[in-house]
Amino acid sequence: MLSFQKKSIEDNYIRGYFNHISEVRETPIEKLDPFRNSINQHIHQKTQDEIFNWAEKQSYIVLANLMYAAAIENIDSCPMEGFRQDVIEEILSVNPETEKVTVTLALGYRSEEDPFQHLKKVRKPNEKLFKFI
Ligand SMILES: Cc1cc2nc3c(=O)[nH]c(=O)nc-3n(C[C@H](O)[C@H](O)[C@H](O)COP(=O)(O)O)c2cc1C
């Protein structure tokens, strides 16, 4: 699985998003205007870099959910960032002008001979990782 993201959000893209909601929820498109206006305002006051950083973070939400879903199905996964972006983009015919591959996720089943699977998991303790309020 590869997550590739758009480098900018055009009006047409937002229109498509709202048409989709309207269709799936069988809601008149005008009823979504307040939501659409708020999204439009939010997007238009951001720079291209801010949009790109936001979109990149969004892909990690998908990634986390996919990893959890795979784990529930006993499918192993390995998230990877250290890849040759240019090679992957060429294989997938991604247009680098408008899209970028952010992260990759290998999904499958571990080899029985993989010695790493028996190592203890190294995890920060909850107190260091989270702030409970
Ligand atoms: C080829 C490869 C590339 C990886 N790239 C990244 C990376 O870019 N960033 C990262 O945090 N972990 C990376 N990892 C580490 C894995 O995502 C994972 O965290 C690691 O295998 C340990 O997982 P575990 O602690 O659940 O056993 C990579 C692992 C492999 C095998």
Q: Ligand 1 atom 2: the closest Cα is on which residue?
A: 80
List phi, psi (to 5°) of 105. Answer: -135, 115
80 lines ligand 1 (CB under 6 A): yes
Q: Ligand 1 atom 24: the closest Cα is on which residue?
A: 121
pTM reported for the whole predicted model? 0.80
Query: How many Å apart are CA 20 and CA 85, to the nearest integer?
Result: 31
SS3 annotation, the chain? CEEEEECCCCHHHHHHHHHHHHHHHCCCHHHHHHHHHHHHHHHHCCCHHHHHHHHHHHHHHHHHHHHHHHHHCCCEEEEECCCCHHHHHHHCCCCCCCEEEEEEEEEECCCCCCHHHHCCCCCCCHHHHCCCC
pLDDT tens string, the chain, 133 residues long: the values are 666 667 777 888 889 999 999 999 999 999 999 999 998 898 889 998 898 888 889 999 999 999 999 999 999 999 999 899 899 989 989 888 888 898 999 999 999 999 999 999 999 999 999 999 9
